[in-house]
Amino acid sequence: MFHLFRHTCNLAIDLGTANTLVYVPDRGIVLNEPSMLAFDIRNDKILAIGQDAKTMEGKTPPHIVIMRPMKDGVIADFKMTRAMLQHFIRKAAKRFRFLSPKVVIAVPFGITDVEKKAVRDSACHAGASKVTIILEPMAAALGAGLPVEKPIGSMVVDIGGGTTDVAVIVMTEIISGCCIRTAGDEMDGAIIQHVRQKHNLLIGPRTAEHIKQTIGCAYSFNGEQHAKIRGRELTGRRFLTTEISSEEIQEALTKTVETIVEAVMMTLENTPPDLADDIIERGILLTGGGALLKNLDYKIKEATGLPVALSDDALTTVAEGAGKALTTPHLLRKIAID
């Protein structure tokens, strides 16, 4: 009777630089793991992928390297990206005993043709019978329920780990937009830099990300918050604990926030007037994990003078949208990229 449970089913994947999510129709998101690998350079071997690799971050001996193969929104390491994608596809497919799934993959807006081919080949190698590639901002718009097929302009700002994609969409086309390599990772880098310079302390990306998510903000309304941080003295050998304030973090993140705001402003400037009119009326939708930085929506609202809304579940909107595309063939045909 085993064969009764084996059937061809399809998967939608949000291949993000920070997190990879896999969506299965009728089941929802079945896998959500960091886009990370642990690699042993002594014997050229992958030791762990996804969450298992993340738990090792910052805690490995020198010969084990924790890698983000899609750092900065581009495929920095083709071989590792392929291994990671194959692992996630096989993990999701095995869980549900799928045979040769059809796969829809959402990739960053700025992806090159060579990278697209690498993504396609990797998925085929992992057993996919057909691979369709769509762009993350289009998937985000779909996931958030924006009227992408209608002659109504919608604006999406997807702030991930490596990239921020800004797009104005109408009738399933991206009319104007840009992709910048400024997003959550850069915020973490700015925090590391700040703690180094102002507190003479060395902290890792894990600590920086934690600070960003707990007391980080783009604008402060209601008083300062504080957090304790531990790190190694830059000029010395001691491990110290110190306190850091939300105001300091806000200051450290100013440049990153301004760059994101500038990308939004630039896209608005390049948007045809009639579509701009729709956006003035309907506002801007923020999505992606980076959009969860406190009061970033306020900063964008302040700069543009437009209504700004944060999507309901910013970290899963792209995967949900890719899933919607997977289950709506006529729509998928329109938004698929070569």
Ligand X SMILES: Nc1ncnc2c1ncn2[C@@H]1O[C@H](COP(=O)(O)OP(=O)(O)OP(=O)(O)O)[C@@H](O)[C@H]1O
Q: What is the CA radius of gyration of the chain?
A: 21
Q: Please, are residues 332 and 132 in contact by the beta-carbon 8 Å criterion?
A: yes
Going by their DSSP bridges, the two strands 308-310 and 64-67 should be labelled as unpaired
The stretch near ligand X (CB under 6 A) out of 61-69, 95-103, 159-167, 276-284 is 159-167
In angstroms, give the least distance from the CB of 207 to ligand X: 12
What is the footprint of ligand X within residues 173-192 (CB under 6 A)?
Answer: 183-185
Say whether residue 153 binds ligand X (CB under 6 A): no
Is 18 annotated among the ligand-binding residues?
Answer: yes
Pick the closer one to ligand X by CB: 29 or 276. 29
DSSP structure string for 224-236: --EEEEEEEETTS
Q: Which of 50, 162, 231, 323 binds ligand X (CB under 6 A)?
A: 162
Residue listed under structure tokens 């690498």: 118
User: Cα–Cα–Cα angle for 105, 111, 112, nearest 5°?
Assistant: 120
What is the footprint of ligand X within residues 228-287 (CB under 6 A)?
Answer: none
Pick the closer one to ligand X by CB: 23 or 98. 23
Binding mask 126-145 for ligand X (x = CB under 6 A): ----------x---------
β partners of residue 173? 170
Say whether residue 289 binds ligand X (CB under 6 A): yes
In angstroms, give the least distance from the CB of 156 to ligand X: 12
Pick the closer one to ligand X by CB: 17 or 276. 17
Which of 145, 122, 165 is closest to 264 using CA atoms? 165
Total interface residues for ligand X by CB under 6 A: 25
Which of 39, 35, 33 is closest to 66 using CA atoms? 39
Q: Torsion angle of alpha carbons 115, 120, 125, 128, nearest 10°?
A: 160
What is the footprint of ligand X within residues 293-312 (CB under 6 A)?
Answer: 293
In angstroms, give the least distance from the CB of 284 to ligand X: 17
Say whether residue 86 binds ligand X (CB under 6 A): no
Distance, CA of 102 to CA of 107 (rounded, Å): 16
The residues near 31 (Cβ < 8 Å, ≥ 6 apart) are 20, 21, 22, 88, 91, 92
β partners of residue 38? 48, 66
Is 290 annotated among the ligand-binding residues?
Answer: yes
Is 323 annotated among the ligand-binding residues?
Answer: no
Binding mask 55-74 for ligand X (x = CB under 6 A): ------------------x-
Annotated binding site for ATP: 17-19, 161-163, 209-212, 289-292
Instruction: Point out which residues bind ligand X (CB under 6 A).
Output: 16-19, 73, 108, 136, 158, 160-163, 183-185, 209, 212-213, 216, 288-290, 292-293, 315
